[in-house]
């Protein structure tokens, strides 16, 4: 279900990765996955919370805050 408060988490992750001038290969290596899996993450509107935690830690960015802000 998508509403006007829907968060495109994949795009948010990709945008932050670019902002930090990090490569997809760098992220894939940090997550111990391949580049194609990273590109799939960028297409998702939802994501497993454990994976989101790992991504938040490696990018030092609280992606969970995007969700908490949308419900306030």
Q: 17: how many CB neighbours lie within 10 A of its CB?
A: 21
Question: What's the confidence (pLDDT) of residue 42?
Answer: 97
CA 56 centroid distance within chain:
7
Domains of the chain: 9-70 (1.10.260.40)
Place of tokens 């509403």: 3
pLDDT above 60 for 59: yes
Cα distances (angstroms) measured from residue 22 to each of 9, 12, 17, 58: 17, 14, 5, 11
pTM listed for this prediction: 0.89
Question: What's the confidence (pLDDT) of residue 71?
Answer: 80
Cα distances (angstroms) measured from residue 46 to each of 40, 51, 52, 66: 11, 11, 10, 12
pLDDT tens digits, one per residue of 8-44: 999 999 999 999 999 999 999 999 999 999 999 999 9
């Amino acid at each position: 279900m998508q509403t006007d408060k829907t968060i495109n988490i994949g795009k948010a992750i990709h945008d932050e990765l670019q902002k930090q001038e990090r490569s997809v290969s760098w992220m894939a290596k940090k997550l111990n996955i391949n580049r194609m899996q990273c590109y799939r993450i960028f297409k998702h509107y939802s994501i497993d919370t454990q994976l989101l935690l790992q991504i938040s830690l490696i990018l030092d960015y609280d992606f969970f805050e995007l969700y908490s802000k949308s419900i306030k």
